Amino acid sequence: MRDLQELADTLGIAKDYIDSSGKYKVIDKECRALALKTLGFNIDNEQQLEQQIKEYIQDPYLNMLPYVTVIRDGDKNFIYIATPQLDDFLNDEIEFHYRFELENGKQIIDSMPLYELEIAYYKDIYGQEYDVRRFFVPTTIDYGYHKFSCFIKAHNKKIVSRVMSYIRTPKICYMPDKILAGKKVWGVSTQLYSLRSRNNWGIGDFSDLKQLLKYVAKSGGNFVGLNPLHASYPCSPDPDMVSPYSPSSRKWLNIIYIDVSEVKELHDSKKALDFIKSEDVVNEICRLRSLEYVDYIGVRKLKLTALRHIYDDVIVKGKNRRRQKEFHQFLKQGSTSLIRLAIFDCLQNYHFEAGIEAYNAAYFRDEFKDINSPAVLDFYHKHKVEIEFFCYLQLIAQEQLQRAHKEALDDKMIIGIYRDLAVGVSFGSCDVWSDDAHIYAQDGSSIGAPPDDLGPKGQSWGLCPINPINAYKNAYKEIIALYQSNMKSCGALRIDHAAGLYRYWVVPPHKEATEGVYIKNNLHDILGIIALESVRNNCLVIAEDLGTIPQELRVALKESGCFSYKLFFGERAADGGYIAPYDYDIQAMSALTTHDMATLKSWWACADLDLGVDLGVYTAIQAFALKADRENAKQRILDSLHGLHSVDDRVSRNAADCKLTEDLVVGMQVHMCRGSCLLYSTQLEDWIGVEKPVNVPGTFKEYPNWKRKLTRDLEDIFSDEKVKNLTTKMTEARG
């Protein structure tokens, strides 16, 4: 009987870890065994398991080369090559032939005697002896994605390798020159959907983003950070299926952010113009704009109708030949990934129109559950016009996002847009449905986080883990595509839950979040890919490293030039006091709060704790204890603010009678801006005193997460003298 614990050790499944409070934790053996299923091993069938293990062990030797080799600056530039010990190879005449196929189309072809390759070690694999050699690359290969293959030949015997992906990368991520020189900047973080304006259709859109960027630039800021812009489910009627952190695809955009009025070819479609100008639509837009919470279904219905009119007239009927040509070029560039997203969206719409509640791919008819089935191919041919409509939406979304970022750079913002990469995708998403390389685990396990101060019961997010073995076998193509797409049209990218770069907390099916398992990732290789795409796209990288983060990862992120993440409320000293922001790490972005925390107004008034009781997140007893700790925290904050002269005597020194006044809000923002972190992010909610949170972790339908809008229009926020005073003082403090 195979020792599953030994196998788990071999495959990088942790047996223990240090939690966020510094305590040693042992991982349950049963959960470690179940995690083998996440990696694709059938532990319920001894015979099949042994065959899988044999194939796993033999593979790199039978094929001479690994699937992929990532060489970062500073690494020794060699490739491991496994050659069998055969009688025909025991002479000096054996030749080693190799070929590099470079990204730019050039080739490097050469040969040498096999004995010139240094033997690193010997290995016996199921009775066959192998020499594992080091081939030192004899020439400088530019950064990029290349291919390498080789063969060895002696007399009448020849062994040919697989074609390996050879990836050359920088070690350090991109950083703008001014920030590299020490310039400290501030910017705004917001949820794009939450923006109010006098022109949008009831949800913040790319034109609102463009306007916000201009306002922030004029106020002295240098970036606008956004919630993930990933593709959602444009045909789902579920009003709660809207979290930007549970997307359908992380490689494409959420089309709900399109501003229909800014579509270049709108005026080529009389039907679209008539629709938009109709009394019913004008009234509906006014209603949607006035709501406190975003009506996603109502907004989508209007936008999709108008956009379909434009598509029919301009693309299908060809009323604008130039635009039609641009679209077909876009289709070629988007290739398989774009078409698959569009098929998925069209299939979902097809099911709903047929009365089938296909909220995700798990509810598709059986013949459509396999991306490569004849039924899906037949569906594509029969519905090509409808499918290409969803491709057209992606073209518009990309253009509008790109235009917003370009104008930000034209306005001399150092960063402009900074985007957010969600940690994963949901089980029935397009990315999982179209995953014929089996990158995503299909055993029902979920990514999450172990228990910590913010989540004492642990967390399970309902997101599919990536199988690091299969990601490696696929030469990281999915991971490369993720970073290539998400580093477009932005000057920075925030990696949500950066702990996943090193290891995922995976919760097996039917287990509690506390019963998770750490599965190790290929950190060295992934950091190399991130650095390569960062440099190629001039995109700074911010790694959200909160929670249970091993020191090895912190060191690796810092050495790679990734920015850390510092939250004021979490940066406390051993005595309970708050660490001075000027003692924070320089290579970091600091912030007071995030979308998963209470707004400043709510936190100071303990309204978030009262809301937590109402929603069942806390018991009354827990909330009472938390309030006592909160009062102590507020006092320690006031001590820090006064001690460092971030506020004056207009702000009380006593937390018991201190209200959240304008002076206190400004003082806290200035306090953070004076800190050492090169980046500081502030939330619009805290400028205008919004109390209701964006998101309440641990809730779904109990609270309208990801729907709450700001309470004021952008135009009014930035014309407010109090806001002007605040941004002026923030800019001065950063200087």
Which H/E stretch holds residue 145?
A: strand 144-154
Q: Examine the domain organization and report whether 156 and 277 are in the same domain.
A: no
pLDDT surpasses 90 at 338: yes
Q: Are strands 249-253 and 107-113 parallel, antiparallel or unpaired?
A: unpaired
Instruction: Please check whether residue 313 lies inside any domain of the structure.
Output: yes
What is the pLDDT, as a whole number, of residue 407? 98
Clarify whether residues 278 and 142 are in a common domain.
Answer: no
Any domain includes 376? yes
Stated as kind and residue range, the H or E segment containing 68 is strand 68-72
Same domain, 164 and 80: yes
Structure tokens at 46: 């001894």
CA atoms within 13 A on the CB side of 54: 9
Rounded CA separation 439/425 (Å): 12
Q: Which of 353, 371, 404 is the last residue of a domain?
A: 404
Please check whether residue 561 is in contact with residue 199, taking contact to mean a CB–CB distance below 8 angstroms.
no
- Give the contacts of 533 (CB within 8 A, at least 6 positions apart): 480, 483, 484, 487, 539
3-state DSSP assignment of residue 618: coil
Beta strand residue intervals within 367-498, DSSP E = 416-421, 446-449, 459-460, 492-495
Q: Is there a domain that residue 613 lies in? A: no
pLDDT tens-digit map of 486-525: 999 999 999 999 999 999 999 999 999 999 999 999 999 9
| Domains contained in the chain, number | 2
Residue 453 pLDDT: 65
- Give the span between the Cα atoms of 413 and 191, in whole angstroms: 20
Rounded CA-CA distance 192/225 in Å is 9
One DSSP character per residue, 595-614 reads TTS--HHHHHHTHHHHHHHH
Q: Which residues contact 676 (CB under 8 A, 6 or more apart)?
A: 581, 582, 583, 584, 585, 586
- Dmax (CA) of the chain: 91
pTM here is: 0.96
Cα dihedral sign for 647, 648, 653, 656? negative
Residue type, 78: F
DSSP one-letter string for 198-259:
SSSSSS--HHHHHHHHHHHHHHT--EEEES--EE--TT---TT---TTS-SEEEEE-GGG--
The answer to whether position 595 is within a domain reads no
CA distance 117 to 251: 41
Check whether residue 261 and residue 390 sit in a common domain.
yes
Instruction: Give the pLDDT band of residue 30 (cuts 50, 70, 90).
Output: very high
In the block, residue with structure tokens 């190799």: 98
Tokens representing 623 are 């909330």
Same-domain check for residues 255 and 115: no
Asked if 188 and 216 touch (Cβ cutoff 8 Å), the reply is yes
Q: Percent of the chain scored above 70 by pLDDT?
A: 99
Backbone angles phi, psi at 128, to 5 degrees: -105, 125
Banded model confidence at residue 457, pLDDT cuts 50, 70, 90: confident
Question: CA-to-CA distance for 79 and 4, rounded, in angstroms?
Answer: 31
Q: 330 and 242 in one domain?
A: yes
Task: Give the end of a domain, one of 379, 404, 429.
Answer: 404
Strand 144-154 and strand 157-160: the pairing is: antiparallel
Q: Are residues 122 and 254 in the same domain?
A: no
- The span from the CA of 17 to the CA of 551, in Å, is 12
- For the chain, the distance separating the N- and C-terminal CA atoms, rounded to the nearest angstrom, is 66
In this structure, which amino acid lies at residue 279? E
> 3-state SS string over 273-313?
HHHHHCHHHHHHHHHHHHCCECCHHHHHHHHHHHHHHHHHH
Range of the domain at 265: 236-404
Q: Give the end of a domain, one of 146, 169, 192.
A: 169
When computed from its CA atoms, the radius of gyration of the chain, rounded to whole angstroms, is 28
Cβ–Cβ contacts within 10 Å for residue 70, how many? Answer: 22
Phi then psi for residue 589, to 5 deg, are -110, 130
Can you give the pLDDT at residue 333? 85
3-state secondary structure 686-727: HHHCCCCCCCCCCCCCCCCCCCECCCCEHHHHCCCHHHHHHH
Predicted local confidence at residue 93, as pLDDT:
78
Q: How far apart are alpha carbons 225 and 415 in whole angstroms?
A: 10
Q: What is the CATH number of the domain that holds 109?
A: 2.60.40
For tokens 């069998």, name the residue: 84
Q: Is 549 within the bounds of a domain?
A: no
- Window from 89-103, 358-372, 426-440, 635-649 with minimum mean pLDDT: 89-103
| 442 pLDDT tier (thresholds 50, 70, 90) | confident
Does a structural domain hold residue 621?
no
In a domain, 599, yes or no: no
Q: What is the pLDDT of residues 62-119, one digit of tens each?
A: 999 999 999 999 999 999 999 988 766 656 678 999 999 999 999 999 999 998 999 9
Nearest to 567 by CA among 544, 540, 542, 541: 544
Q: Give the residue, 234 or 699, on which the prediction is more confident.
A: 234
Q: Determine the average pLDDT of the residues in 436-450.
A: 93
Long-range pairs of 48-52 with CB within 8 A, sequence gap ≥ 24: 49/2, 50/2
Whether residue 242 sits in one domain with residue 121? no
pLDDT per residue over 374-406, tens digit each?
A: 999 999 999 999 999 999 999 999 999 999 999
Token digits for 679?
A: 């980046």
Average pLDDT, the chain: 95
- Give every CB contact of residue 119 below 8 A, 6+ residues apart in sequence: 131, 132, 133, 134
Structure tokens at 619: 């018991």
* Model confidence pLDDT, tens digit, residues 33-49: 999 999 999 999 999 99
Q: Are residues 262 and 153 in the same domain?
A: no
**Statement: residue 163 has pLDDT above 70:** yes
* pLDDT exceeds 90 at position 32: yes
Output the pLDDT for position 726.
98
Statement to judge: residues 132 and 270 lie in one domain: no
Residue 253 amino acid letter: L
Amino acid type, 553? L
Write down the pLDDT at residue 458.
85
Residue 10 lies in a domain: no
Inter-residue contact 236 to 348 (CB < 8 Å): yes
